[in-house]
Structure 1
Amino acid sequence: MTCHTYTPGQRIHNYKVVAVTPLPIIDSTLIQLVHDKTRARHFHIANQDKENTFSVIFRTVPTDSTGVAHILEHTVLCGSRHFNVRDPFFSMIKRSLSTFMNAFTASDWTMYPFATQNEKDYFNLMDVYLDAAFFPKIDELSFKQEGSRLDIDPSQNPELVYKGVVYNEMKGAMSSPSQVMGRALLQSLYPDTTYSNNSGGDPLEIPKLTWQDLKRFHSRYYHPSNAQFYTYGNLPLEKTLAFIHDKVLHGFDFLSVDSSVPAQPRWQTPRQETYTYAYSDTDTMDKKYQGCVAWLTCDAKDAFEVLVLTVLEQILIGNAASPLRKALIDSNLGSALADASGFEPDNRDAMFAIGLKDIEKSAVAQVESIVFSTLEKLVKEGIAPDLVESAIHQIEFYRKEITNTPYPFGIKLLLSFTGNLIHDGDPVSCINIDADLERLQQALAKGGFLEERLKTYFIDNPHRVLFTLAPDPDLESTTENQIKKELTKIYQNLSQQDLEKIKQDATQLEQIQEQQEDLSVLPTLELTDVPPEIEMISPDQLDRVTHAAGYDKATSGILYFTCPMGAGHVATSLFPLVPFFCQAFTHSGTARQSYIRMAEKIDRYTGGVTLSPFSGTYFDKEADSHVFLALQGKALDRNVPHLFDIVKEFVLTYGFTDLERLKNLLLQYQAGMESSIVATGHRYAISLSSRHLSMASHINEIWHGIAQYQTIKQIVQNITDPETAQPVMEQLAENLNTMAGGILRKDNFKPAVIGSLDAIQQADQAIGQMLVALPDGSRPAFFTPDIPRDTQAPRDGWMTNTAVSFVGQSFKTVGITHEDAPGLSVISKILRALFLHREIREKGGAYGGFAIYNSEEGIFSLGSYRDPHITRTLDVYQKACEYIMKGDYTQTDVKEAILQVCSDIDKPETPGPAAMKAFYRDIARLTDEIRRQFKDQLLQLDKNRVQAIAQKYFDLDGRQAGVSVISSKTALEQANLTLEKSGQTPLVLNKI
């Protein structure tokens, strides 16, 4: 049955069709249904997308901060009625061609989504997901493994410690100021509803959760009557409905579940709140406050008001020229907008927050004053029509653009309206917004509409908080002491029987984690289900397209432009400045126009114009390294001329004369990197541990790692000293101009355009005009200069503000053209699934352990994320190498690893990004023949071949294996004591 034949009132497999709505903007149809017995709602978006998505969503409303919803999300994935294995979720990752598998816990909902292109896989995964959600085992040991538990550690005094995956995950999360800020704002603005609780779990509260509490929470909320089912794609709806009914719903009756989230009672007067976060660097403490103003605004189900506030967000803070962002940044009180700034429409009442970070405590009141004076000025003088037009354009652009980044489009779409859906709103109103846009245009035509909303939602709204986030140098030690006192008290009250129970649990848990399971109960795919071919995309031979590679693709009326430019002529002394050069190039204005005017034009006519740095190694046999910058832009077809007017102005009239703007960009850039270190510390640790292994990895560390952060940090220190500020800024501007002069040469451009033929032809003509105006160069610069580098393997630790660790280890192997490359990619999957997951996550309590094979550089890396250990994890890495060489795995394990690699290879992209990737494969010389040969060899691997490859590369004695750890000073010093006691080389400690 095709989707257009569905009609309201129609019955399908124990469901009733409630509504059928065309979604023309995404060429789809939404069918809404209700199950007869349980009244479970089902939302199906039917279209021709072969990447099919499924999700089941429950409204989950915690009443405390023990993390019950989050821990339940983990625990239901630890075995179920029909799939009674320890970890069916992670086991299915190995047995599937899924393009996405995960689970999410938000403040008031829990979601279990996946996506796949394979129909057999789709129903396999749905079977496992449904059984996990509705019929989980929730045994006590799984709860203790995933949530928290007491354990005995003879090295500690007292002997008790807390362990648990979520416990350590949240210790890591709450080490991040941005996480503390986001959670604390919810607690401040919504003190009377579920949002006042930390749904992820407060590490101080998590141990209070009991197994019985967890089971009660599941019984209360994980019922079909409290569920929303979602499917998306081209598979028949009837088959999906029958499957869900037969597997789950037929066994349930309707249950009245009180899970609704009431509106937060509104205040009559504004409030002030202060929260603290752990920060140990007392030298910089004075400038590490954050201050913001946050308001409760409209009902999240009111689609029109949500649209209005989305427009206001874009007007106020959407780009560098936005009046509120500009006023705050230009105040020079802080470095960047405060964490959690922006409009958040997913809660029952939508929230808006704005402020500054890296300020002094005394500046909080000034931040509030700037916010209100700017808003009052906009109300008094009126909002410029250009700002409104730009904001509406941005909404239009991102409605039309369909991409699979960072999630498959079906999941991105779901996440865009989950907040509305979960509060019984109408998801159609979130997608089909043309009527609301028309209503907005009519309101705007009468004048004063947005100014009136500024008064209503911001200036005259008493439900607001002036919020201060304060650094606390004693918070970490105070918290640790509090936990130690708590554990001491618990220890003193334990009976011998209690102690034996703790020991018994630890022993049982270890036995369960060690035992070999029969996974045959789980459904699986076979290698015969893998399509042997690879997707191949080549430039089209197009009439009147002579300057750029052209890809004639259906891109929903959007043109994509990209242009790599070689960076080989950049002086080696200036190489560390390349990432900031990219930031400044499109964000500091030109010789003709200010950054404000350029930002306005970018927002009004494009989906963005960026310049980004790339370093790597060519994929061909010679394998020389390359460095280039990629200039990119995208625009609706009607705005192609405007896009290239902007691009040409940047390229032909670049200018770095606004020193105040450059200073603000430096501060924002540093603040962004600083926030990312704790959030994605594993990536930094891997970069540090591999920096000695190739020129490209060395440059990657210079451009994207801790080395880059330290470069920018030093410049910022120099410009905050009044005596050195002016000459440093002048030298910086001169350096940026020098770099631009060496890069912007006509023979150094390799442009490509993707879209409809007419748009491509317009773009090609504009590119030709730009190239003619560029100066000639000596030769293309897609090579790497001889940059001095240290080839000695690092063994270092990097100190920062974090309650957990990130442990990286890297060593050299071979690249993709070598016959061993497919085996190395399979080994990375085997190690993660069969060894590291068990040893680092299940036993060690870290959030994750992983292995990565970089086929471009020929580098193999091991890493951990939000890890309570350092030396134990390094021991695990050694044992992992021994494990893979010894061969304690089966041919089935190899097959499942091959499936995972194929899933990565065959992950689909929408036409625009797919063509872009193909173009960059050509730039990096990754030919279709190399890709085809890799996949052919991959599908032929067996266990003996994999083990032989392992024995060739994983005996690390004598190898240049680098080790880098990011952690706290205390944890690193303790790790060094342990290493020295065991006769191992300690880490060289550095301060980030």
Structure 2
Amino acid sequence: MFKLGNIYYGFKLIEETEVKEIQSIARIFIHEKTGAKLLHLENDDHNKVFSIGFRTPPSDSTGVPHIIEHCVLSGSRKYITKEPFMDMVKGSLQTFLNAMTFSDKTLYPVASRNEKDFFNLMDVYLDAVFYPKIYEIPEIFMQEGWHHEIFDEEENIRYKGVVYNEMQGAYSSPERILGENIGKSLYPDTCYQYSSGGNPDIIPELSYEDFLDFHRRFYHPSNSYIYLYGNGNVEKQLKHIDENYLSNFDKAEIHSTIGIQKPFTSRNEIVDYYPISSEENDENRSYLSLNFVLGENTDPEIYLMTSILSQLLVESEAAPLKKALLDEGIGEDIFPVSSGGLQPSFGVVAKNTSPDKKAQFEKVIFETLNNLVENGIDRKLIEACINIVEYDLREASKFPTKGIVYNMISLDSWLYDGDPLVHLQFDKTLNKLKSNMDTSYFENFIKERIINNPHSSLVIIEPKKGLGEEKQRIMEGKLDEYKKSLSPEEIKELIEENNKLKEMQVADDSEEAKATIPKLSIADVEPKAQVIPQKIIKEDKLTILSHNIFTSKIAYVDFYFDISMVEEKLIPYINLLIGLLGKIDTKKRPYSQLANEIYIHTGGIDFDVTCYDQKNSDELYHPKLIVKGKAIGDNITKMMELVSELITQSKIEDKKRIKELFQQMKSRIEMTIFDAGHSVAASRVSSYFSPSKKYMERLKGLDFYWFLSDILETFDSNSEEILSNLNKVYNMVFSADNLILSFTGDEDDFSLVKANLPIVIDKLNTLDFQPIKYGFAEERLNEGILSSANVQYVSKGYNFRRLGFNYNGSMRVLSTILSRDYLHNKIRAQGGAYGAGILLDRTGHIVTFSYRDPNLDRTIQVYDKMADYIDSLNIDEEELTTYIIGTMSQLDPATTPHMKGQIATNRYISKITQEDIQKTRDEVLATKLEDIKAFIPLIDKAMKEDYLCVLGNENMIKDNEKLFNKLVQLKK
């Protein structure tokens, strides 16, 4: 038993309380000797979390907090390999292992179910942050941050560095540029005016000395926020942290306080630009954003109202601001934007608009808000939006490692000297907001915090052709001037520095260094694969899969509709359709009322489309449209009624509304392309040789994006045909034939779902459809996809089954070795890309990818030499065991209860049995070096098939045009 005021291994307990909302006992400690703050959340979650964070306010946009986050994980006092972080990823049972830079803090969280592993991870991170090798090895800064690269006196100097290239990729997104300018516009006198991740134009201004000074100033226990979560032995954890780390330090005065931005007396306005490629259309491609500072995050009402306002005014389908702006034709997509930090903001963005609509944009917003204040907001809309936020809190944002989410929520107040529990104890605030639904609370909040609030900004981001080339010329000019300023001796010194860096990168860690990395043994691994409970019930054409899993009383009900009867030319219409349902009128009510009904009574009804490969084949596959609903208790009946209404009574006829939704769909795809560029390229290359991946490309890949773009180009003249095709698909896909119902929850709720099934089933169409055999032929398109991105996403792949090879679990270990070692070293550490990897699956796909990669041809050469690397691979049993254990962590990821039900359902559809899962596990655990070597011909032949796709910079791809069969514009 803990007692208030007592000291436990140097930590004084200052508060203990129950947090019912997250089923935890919370304890707040202060470390007496250093002043380090520690929050412990005790509960029965065996997925334990440790995190240490620091307040790290930037004073410029060189990205120093971000570069330090990378660098401290590259060797420390106790762990002297080049990259202990990657060594732990290779051989840990971790369920979460990462580090994150925010606008005002840097966080180092880890999670594991295994206690020995948990302590190993905790120790590696503590040693990394307090005793990094950055002071002794400047090459770490050069590799992870930035450096001048040159290897020959006649060469031009280049900028190189992992963070530099990562941020080159990040700044390919106009939304990133918009976000940075919102920070500048609202908080010009605080740290939030800067890019903590680093603006690539400014990163090269960071000196090694200033980098070290930032670490000295902020990475001290007195500036730390330590977090422990789960069912671990907290006294043992406290003892370890104190005895091995904190006791070595004394209290220090750290000047890291986050400054408050004084309120404005008038609105601030900023205009900035983003690059587009020379062949892109720049008409109506601007962004307008109106933003307001709402208060301080330590206030629990402000904290929740920031999220509620986003739903209420913009995000919900019933949101009045979005509707008003779309009705006025201001932008093709309207979405909310908010900045976190000490002073949260609310903003509304119009995307794909023009600067000359600025006055109209502001006018519509204020007229709409004034109308809401004078005439009142729809109470059902308020109730629905509160419900959305409440579900998000109770489900920990649907993130599988809940403890990580709770850590971030606690820091939203704790970091600013507030109560770390205030946002975790959300019931009191939610209840207050609910009790105010019938008062003028929400209208007054909008009036005071938005309408009458001069602390606001208008940000305009415009497209600019040639901006990328202009920045490239400026950068090359700077580098040229820099080289001219160097004497021959200084150039030689610079070349020597680069050679020293290269030597460090290519050198293997010594056996002595490797021995410092903590290791698990095979005995630490559970040999038996987890069995997900699944009861299979067959009723006529219906299959019911029930998963009796604890879900905190939320019932998850998913309908899997067979869509294999849809003819090939209509495949993309399936994805168009699901983008409409729930957002258009039904025969029963308008879409605004429908949205309110859904969120008042349920946690949401969502739609998805995907394709499940049958075990061991990509030629046999099962395309499905999935309707996902969730509700609590008696609301299950209402949820079933709403599902039925959506899939049988939607009216596909309002051309104006449908065009708006298509424009929004296109906009949202564009906003994700560069963040998921590696997936885009990998999916595209897979579609060249895989029928199931070709289907997915038509359904939701680049083929779909281009189809949607074409649809919008001709919508006004072809709307009748488009609506006809949508109705045809709508009347076809919601069929009782081959329907699978997947339920996840408890037995009582399952009985309620089963009793209410006729509400949905009885209204489905009963036509007898035949599945279509699509004629997807293999085709080596080898495209270079031209974009305004500053980096590349490079992918090669093939299907090894077509080359005569069969799947084996040892391939998972091969993937770990190649991804975590060879590709990481060659493409990331030496090549400067943010990441790289390879996937091998039981259907036969072998696909490589790189992420935010400054290279192109060089990366392809790395892929082509994978077989040579495996041929020369010489590792002992201990090293191989490390790779096996790292592979096991991928077989046992953290999952939410709903995810478990989905995994079991996916396996059922793909005909993957528990025996198959166990066989793969057994093969992973039994892997020998000769098993890995046996894959040499597979890798060699797959890469020699030469199926290639690159999404990247227009000029870089054109410079390597000989590698491609065709060049394609990303945005047509």
Question: TM-score scaled to structure 2, two decimals?
Answer: 0.96
Aligned to 2:528: 533
Q: Deviations over 1:384-434 (max 9, x none)?
A: 2111211222233223225763x5111122123322221111121101122
Q: Which moved more, 1:385-394 or 1:32-41?
A: 385-394
The match for 2:740 among 721, 732, 750 is 750
Note if contact 1:69-1:110 (Cα within 8 Å) is conserved in structure 2. yes
Shift of the alpha carbon at 1:594?
Answer: 2.2
Q: Which moved more, 1:382-391 or 1:864-873?
A: 382-391
Give the match's secondary structure for 1:559: strand
Give me the whole-angstrom Cα distance separating, in 1, the residues matched to 2:518 and 2:398.
26
Q: Deviations over 1:923-981 (max 9, x none)?
A: 22111011011111111110011101233443347x533100111221111123xx5xx
Which letter maps to 1:436? Answer: T
Shift of the alpha carbon at 1:544?
Answer: 13
Aligned to 2:907: 921
Q: Deviations over 1:269-312 (max 9, x none)?
A: 11211111111256521210010100111111111222233333
Shift of the alpha carbon at 1:608?
Answer: 1.4
Cα 1:986–1:731 change in 2 (3 A) is closer
Cα 1:332–1:59 change in 2 (3 A) is same
The match for 2:955 among 955, 966, 970 is 970
Give the match's secondary structure for 1:273: strand
Aligned to 1:451: 443
The match for 1:142 among 140, 143, 154 is 140
Shift of the alpha carbon at 1:162?
Answer: 0.7
Aligned to 2:501: 509
Shift of the alpha carbon at 1:744?
Answer: 1.6
Cα 1:370–1:317 change in 2 (3 A) is same
Shift of the alpha carbon at 1:885?
Answer: 3.4
Give me the whole-angstrom Cα distance separating, in 1, the residues matched to 2:537 and 2:949.
50
Give me the whole-angstrom Cα distance separating, in 2, the residues matched to 1:526 and 1:745.
51
Give me the whole-angstrom Cα distance separating, in 1, the residues matched to 2:280 and 2:960.
25
Shift of the alpha carbon at 1:442?
Answer: 4.5
Q: Which moved more, 1:639-648 or 1:597-606?
A: 597-606
The answer to whether residue 728 in structure 2 is matched with residue 717 in structure 1 is no
Shift of the alpha carbon at 1:601?
Answer: 1.3
Give me the whole-angstrom Cα distance separating, in 1, the residues matched to 2:757 and 2:515.
58
Q: How does 1:669-708 map to 2 (within 5 A)?
A: 669-708=665-704
Aligned to 2:810: 823
Q: How does 1:259-278 map to 2 (within 5 A)?
A: 259-278=256-275
The answer to whether residue 838 in structure 2 is matched with residue 851 in structure 1 is yes
Cα 1:775–1:67 change in 2 (3 A) is closer
Give me the whole-angstrom Cα distance separating, in 2, the residues matched to 1:620 and 1:201.
45
Which letter maps to 1:961? Answer: D
Shift of the alpha carbon at 1:330?
Answer: 2.7
Note if contact 1:66-1:207 (Cα within 8 Å) is conserved in structure 2. yes
Note if contact 1:404-1:909 (Cα within 8 Å) is conserved in structure 2. no
Give me the whole-angstrom Cα distance separating, in 1, the residues matched to 2:432 and 2:595.
27
Note if contact 2:61-2:202 (Cα within 8 Å) is conserved in structure 1. yes
Shift of the alpha carbon at 1:991?
Answer: 1.0
Q: Deviations over 1:753-772 (max 9, x none)?
A: 22232322221122123212
Note if contact 1:830-1:893 (Cα within 8 Å) is conserved in structure 2. no
Aligned to 2:208: 211
Aligned to 2:516: 521
Note if contact 1:50-1:117 (Cα within 8 Å) is conserved in structure 2. yes
Q: How does 1:85-96 map to 2 (within 5 A)?
A: 85-96=81-92
Q: Deviations over 1:492-513 (max 9, x none)?
A: 1101221112111111111111
The match for 1:729 among 707, 719, 726 is 719
Note if contact 1:881-1:954 (Cα within 8 Å) is conserved in structure 2. yes
Aligned to 1:482: 474
Give the match's secondary structure for 2:515: helix
Note if contact 2:534-2:545 (Cα within 8 Å) is conserved in structure 1. yes
The answer to whether residue 880 in structure 2 is matched with residue 894 in structure 1 is yes
Cα 1:745–1:124 change in 2 (3 A) is same
Q: Deviations over 1:701-726 (max 9, x none)?
A: 2222211111101111112xxxxx14
Which letter maps to 2:380? Answer: D
Aligned to 1:982: none
Give me the whole-angstrom Cα distance separating, in 1, the residues matched to 2:115 and 2:708.
49
Q: Deviations over 1:322-344 (max 9, x none)?
A: 11122223333222125xx2344
Give me the whole-angstrom Cα distance separating, in 1, the residues matched to 2:433 and 2:687.
53
Shift of the alpha carbon at 1:233?
Answer: 0.6
The answer to whether residue 238 in structure 2 is matched with residue 241 in structure 1 is yes
Give me the whole-angstrom Cα distance separating, in 1, the residues matched to 2:436 and 2:939.
68
Aligned to 2:352: 358
The answer to whether residue 182 in structure 2 is matched with residue 192 in structure 1 is no
Which letter maps to 1:863? Answer: F
Give me the whole-angstrom Cα distance separating, in 1, the residues matched to 2:965 and 2:130.
48
Q: Which moved more, 1:553-562 or 1:739-748?
A: 739-748
| Residues matched between the structures, number | 964
Which letter maps to 1:516? Answer: D
Shift of the alpha carbon at 1:808?
Answer: 0.6
Aligned to 1:183: 180
Question: TM-score scaled to structure 1, two decimals?
Answer: 0.94
Note if contact 1:48-1:234 (Cα within 8 Å) is conserved in structure 2. yes
Give the match's secondary structure for 1:298: coil
Q: Which moved more, 1:927-936 or 1:909-918?
A: 909-918
Give me the whole-angstrom Cα distance separating, in 2, the residues matched to 1:149 and 1:320.
48
Note if contact 2:641-2:759 (Cα within 8 Å) is conserved in structure 1. no
The answer to whether residue 28 in structure 2 is matched with residue 38 in structure 1 is no
Cα 1:184–1:949 change in 2 (3 A) is same
**Can you give the 5+ residue segments of structure 2 that lack an aligned partner in the other structure?**
none
Which letter maps to 1:813? Answer: F
The answer to whether residue 334 in structure 2 is matched with residue 348 in structure 1 is no
Give me the whole-angstrom Cα distance separating, in 1, the residues matched to 2:146 and 2:767.
62
Which letter maps to 1:270? Answer: R
Shift of the alpha carbon at 1:697?
Answer: 1.2
Note if contact 1:644-1:767 (Cα within 8 Å) is conserved in structure 2. yes
Aligned to 1:799: 786
Give the match's secondary structure for 1:568: coil
Give me the whole-angstrom Cα distance separating, in 2, the residues matched to 1:885 and 1:548.
48
Cα 1:891–1:703 change in 2 (3 A) is farther
Note if contact 2:562-2:737 (Cα within 8 Å) is conserved in structure 1. no
Which letter maps to 2:479? Answer: L
Give me the whole-angstrom Cα distance separating, in 2, the residues matched to 1:448 and 1:826.
60
The answer to whether residue 69 in structure 2 is matched with residue 77 in structure 1 is no
The match for 2:388 among 390, 394, 416 is 394
Identity in percent: 29
Give me the whole-angstrom Cα distance separating, in 2, the residues matched to 1:621 and 1:824.
16
Q: Which moved more, 1:763-772 or 1:270-279?
A: 763-772
Aligned to 1:379: 373
Give me the whole-angstrom Cα distance separating, in 2, the residues matched to 1:283 and 1:127.
51
Q: How does 1:155-194 map to 2 (within 5 A)?
A: 159-194=156-191
Give me the whole-angstrom Cα distance separating, in 1, the residues matched to 2:93 and 2:618.
33
**Can you give the 5+ residue segments of structure 1 that lack an aligned partner in the other structure?**
720-724, 980-984
Note if contact 2:537-2:544 (Cα within 8 Å) is conserved in structure 1. no
Give me the whole-angstrom Cα distance separating, in 1, the residues matched to 2:926 and 2:201.
51
Which letter maps to 1:330? Answer: D
Q: Deviations over 1:423-477 (max 9, x none)?
A: 11112110112222333345445x2221111111100000111111111113212
Note if contact 2:273-2:461 (Cα within 8 Å) is conserved in structure 1. yes
Aligned to 2:4: 8
Aligned to 1:988: 966
Cα 1:153–1:734 change in 2 (3 A) is farther
The match for 2:795 among 808, 832, 836 is 808
Note if contact 2:525-2:885 (Cα within 8 Å) is conserved in structure 1. yes
Note if contact 2:278-2:466 (Cα within 8 Å) is conserved in structure 1. no
Note if contact 1:812-1:961 (Cα within 8 Å) is conserved in structure 2. no
Cα 1:145–1:434 change in 2 (3 A) is same
Note if contact 2:545-2:741 (Cα within 8 Å) is conserved in structure 1. yes
Shift of the alpha carbon at 1:558?
Answer: 0.7
Give the match's secondary structure for 2:125: helix
Q: Which moved more, 1:598-607 or 1:221-230?
A: 598-607
The match for 1:604 among 592, 596, 600 is 600
Q: Deviations over 1:780-813 (max 9, x none)?
A: x6x6x33233412232200011111110111112
Q: Deviations over 1:363-387 (max 9, x none)?
A: 2222211111111110010112111
